[in-house]
Amino acid sequence: MSAVLTDPLLASLVPAHGFGTRDALPPEPLVRPKQVHGDRVVDALVCRAAAQPPEADAIVSAESEFAIAVVTADCVPILLSAPDGAVVAALHAGWRGLAAGVVAAGVAALLARAGCSGAACLAAIGPHIGPCCYEVDEPVLAALDAGLGAPARAAARATRPGHARLDLGALCRAALRDACLPEAAIGTTAAVCTACDPRRFHSYRRDGPRSGRLVHFIRAAPRG
């Protein structure tokens, strides 16, 4: 395993986590769902046992024998941990998933599994396209406004008629705060722009269909 980005908020809790780069080698075994830009959450054991990966954009795990993961090429990866590291989750949050409520669904699933409150959990946001490089049109803005309201409007900066630069990271932070995570519990050390750095990151917005994917993973701590 090399060249992954980590967040100090999670480093002391879980045995392994990382946000992928072009050169990163994710750990094995690794379990991840088939991502569809929605809000469905799947349990890691269900995902691992399935003949084909189930459709979901968040995966929750209490298993220390393997890591769970999501992949991105501009969308926002979010890694979550219960306060003892024994339950973790990985979320894939693009604008469609954010509008559908994937962050709230992922946090709720982790809290239900861990039996704790959102105020006790930690989250880390990984590499994603920044507002410097991400212009969207009116249908995207309307969908986000319908799903998220004021935070969506606050995260958009008009550029030309019917278009705006969108801050996906700000939307994720707002959704995490709405799920009762305090600002200090949301790590952003690895939240750098994928489109700005072709040496380290794949970017669909920059490279189109030929873009690769970045793998972001987390493994739960063994239960004491």
Q: Return contacts of 148-155, CB within 8 angstroms, 24+ apart.
A: 148/98, 148/99, 148/174, 148/175, 151/175, 151/178, 152/99, 155/131
On average, the pLDDT of the chain sits at 96
| pLDDT tens digits, one per residue of 35-59 | 999 999 999 999 999 999 999 999 9
Q: Identify any residues that bridge with 92 across adjacent strands, giving them in sequence order.
A: 77
| Residue 2 confidence (pLDDT) | 54
Beta strand extents in the chain (DSSP E only): 16-18, 30-31, 41-43, 58-61, 67-72, 76-81, 88-93, 122-125, 135-137, 156-160, 163-166, 186-187, 214-219
Structure tokens at 105: 């669904």
| pLDDT tens digits, one per residue of 7-38 | 999 998 999 999 999 989 899 999 999 999 99
Q: Return contacts of 46-52, CB within 8 angstroms, 24+ apart.
A: none
The pLDDT confidence band at residue 1, using thresholds 50, 70 and 90, is very low
β-bridge pairing 58-61 and 41-43: parallel
Residue 107 pLDDT > 80: yes
Mean pLDDT of 82-104: 97
Nearest to 159 by CA among 138, 135, 193: 135
Q: Report yes or no on whether pTM surpasses 0.95.
A: yes
CATH class, range 8-219: alpha beta
| pLDDT tens digits, one per residue of 154-188 | 999 999 999 999 999 999 999 999 999 999 999 99
Is the Cα torsion angle 102, 165, 158, 182 positive or negative in sign?
positive
